[in-house]
Amino acid sequence: MIVVYGSTGLVGKAVCDEAQRTGHQVIGLSRTKNNKCDESIEIDFLDYECLVKTTEELISRSNIPKAFVFCHRARISSSLAEADSLLQSTGIDIYPYLALHQALKTTKRKSPLNIVTVTSNAAFRFAQDVNYLYHITKHAQVAASFALSLAPSSLDVFSNVVSFGEAIDHSKQDHDPYHQKLFNTLSRCSSDRPMPTIKNVAKTAVILCNASSFGLCGQTLVIDAGLSGITQESIVRLLTRDTVD
């Protein structure tokens, strides 16, 4: 059994589909129901008491979940003052981890538990065109995820992260000209390797749901066709050469 937070988002739905395809039962938690899940729980991620109660109930089930996958994300509000927007978005991103931390402290169960956080690479590599608050909350989310593996608990907790950059959504038949040009340019920068898809990201997340079986903990798997290993200078030279030519 796998619990997926943010089960109605683009990545969350893909993770649910991949988990079911590989034979797992899936419990989805989100603001609205995902009726394709084996069980779907509608929940407000800002309602901390409800999150704690729901998480403790999941941990106490006779069939204890083998993994909690966090795919949920806050939307940075432009209608709120920056400080208020930060508080709101941090609550949405972090409360589910706090609720799980509370459940881990109180349970007496004995079992391995895998935690998988799926997030953008803004948590590790700063981007000039990304909202300042988004960088803050993504870094906090990764820290909260890794720290859960260090929290005292009767459960053996293994926590890992899937970090992805641009990823193609193949559920769309056509991409707008901007994104199509972006994907084509990024593919050239990665030695003509195709850019990863949302399905690639989901597959990696589901593999990490079994990380306890091979002792993997505290690791970040980057899904970006190798772009993060290429120097910025070489990318700039390539794009400049293309423009001049």
Dihedral class, residue 166 (left if φ above 0, else alpha if ψ from -120 to 50, else beta): beta
Banded pLDDT at 175 (limits 50, 70, 90): low
Q: What CATH number is given for 2-172+195-225 in this structure?
A: 3.40.50.720
With a cut of 80, say whether residue 77 has pLDDT above it.
no
Dihedral class, residue 23 (left if φ above 0, else alpha if ψ from -120 to 50, else beta): left
pTM of the entire structure? Answer: 0.84
Q: Determine the pLDDT at residue 43.
A: 95
pLDDT tens string 47-56: 999 999 999 9
Q: Determine the pLDDT at residue 169.
A: 47
pLDDT tens string 90-118: 999 999 999 999 999 999 988 999 999 99
Rounded-to-integer distance, Cα 239 and Cα 245, Å: 10
Amino acid letter, residue 107: T
Percentage of the chain lying above the pLDDT 70 cut: 78
Q: Determine the pLDDT at residue 245.
A: 47
Token couple for 213: 């079986």
Q: Torsion angle, CA of 226/231/235/237, rounded to 10 degrees? A: -150
